[in-house]
Amino acid sequence: MHNFYHMPKEVILAVSMISAAGVVIQSIALIVCINRHYGGRVQRTENISEGAILLHIFLLSLLIAKVQTNLRNDLILPSGNIFARYMVFFVVFITASVMCRTKRTWVPMISVLVGMLTLPAVEKMWGDNFSAIYVFCLVYFMSRSIYMVAVKLRELKTCISELSVKEAMDALHTGILFCEPDGRIILINRQMQKLMISLTGMVVRNGREFLQEISGKTLRESGEFDGRMVFQWEDESVWMVTDTLLQMGTKNYHQITAADVTEKWNAIALLRQQNSELDQRGEELKQTIANLRSIYSKEEALRAKSRIHDILGQRIALLIRSLRENDRPDEALLKTFIEDWPIGFADFRNEHDAERSLEAMMEMIGGIGVEINMSGCLPENAELAAAFTDIISEAVTNAIRHGFAKEIDISCEKEEFMWKV
């Protein structure tokens, strides 16, 4: 290191900064290695090796720091820390040898070879040229530390570690905690902590006490959620809490979870409301149907009265005609009236068939000696045909009752835009 005493202060400062950066970066690499998921003896050996390399870089930085101190005091002294440098190198060599054997690679030996160049014996052998070797070794170890940080961070992202488990739990929207049977919390995520603060105003340190605290805040304890506790936040969100017993070997643990069931809760509430509305509409529909039946019955009765009036009018008209032509009623005609009376009402019950009703009326009129000549046909429309039948029946009855007609001509025909009877 004697050659550094003849170098400009700027160069010595730059080398000091490189050595300090190497210590910082290697410290980060060691922290990242330690925070990895425990992987057994190989990982433990690697962590020891990284720690030994950190001590080695620290001892190298002490050499340049000692040069700066001596320059300020106008002194030139030997490097020092000889025993510590040999001991740290020995640890690096042992751990590197173990990793080469277990990982079946020679890469760890590169650090051993570079570290060997910084030993006191090599420094003495190279003399003034050792300064260049010293800077080279510092640059190598700093570059190696940067590489190790990048590799181990990537390994942390792809491998499970204690931190990754906690991070995964914190990323869940579901609150979760694990506790022992007495309630002592082992692991809890952020969502559950937020839930505790929202419900109790603080983070409860005991899982059993937390369940007791929220038991009085439940909105529902049975039904769609199988008896699980359900409670509501101030922001109207609804959460369901479950307590599950976990058995791991001979030990028992409790897993308490809080799941957001706001959408399900609101959907069930909406479904209940809709069912209630449907029940109300059903009752209204039943009442409407009952009213329609009453109205229909009244209309049926009215049509029956109208039909009876028509049938009686026809019979009376025929009877009057017979009495005017003869002094006494024709017994055969009276017998026909009596026998045809039920038929007339049977035709009324089938009055939706207008053509059949018209034929029955013509057959009855023809039975008393009145000739009816029918030309054309009824409209295809059922309602229009029924109306035509009623008009013809009323006209024939009036012709017989008041005009004493013996021959009646009926014509039904369709013109361009209308029917004529």
The ranges assigned to domains in the chain are: 2-159, 172-260, 303-420
73-102 burial: b if 16+ Cβ within 10 Å, else e = eeeeeebebeeebeebbebbbebbebbeee
Q: Is the pLDDT of residue 344 over 70?
A: no
What is the CATH architecture of 172-260?
Answer: 2-Layer Sandwich (3.30)
Digit-coded pLDDT (tens) for 49-69: 888 888 888 888 888 787 777
Fill in the amino acid letter for 312. Answer: L
Select, from the ranges 39-48, 231-240, 407-416, the one with the highest average predicted confidence (pLDDT). 407-416
Digit-coded pLDDT (tens) for 178-229: 999 888 888 888 888 888 887 778 888 888 888 887 776 655 544 455 567 7
φ, ψ for residue 9 (rounded to 5)?
Answer: -60, -30
The H or E element containing residue 296 is helix 262-325
Query: What was the pLDDT predicted at 31?
Result: 87
The whole-angstrom distance between residue 218's C-alpha and the CA centroid of its chain comes to 24
Digit-coded pLDDT (tens) for 207-216: 888 888 777 6
Give the HSE-up count for residue 138: Cα atoms under 13 Å, Cβ half-sphere. 24
Query: What was the pLDDT predicted at 349?
Result: 41
The pTM (predicted TM-score) of the whole model is 0.42
- Is residue 358 within 8 A of residue 392, CB to CB? The reply is yes
Q: What is the mean pLDDT of residues 372-380?
A: 83
Q: What is the mean pLDDT of residues 41-51?
A: 83
Q: Is 409 left (phi over 0), alpha (psi -120 to 50) or beta?
A: beta
Reading the block at residue 375, the tokens are: 């030309």
What is the CATH architecture of 303-420?
Answer: 2-Layer Sandwich (3.30)
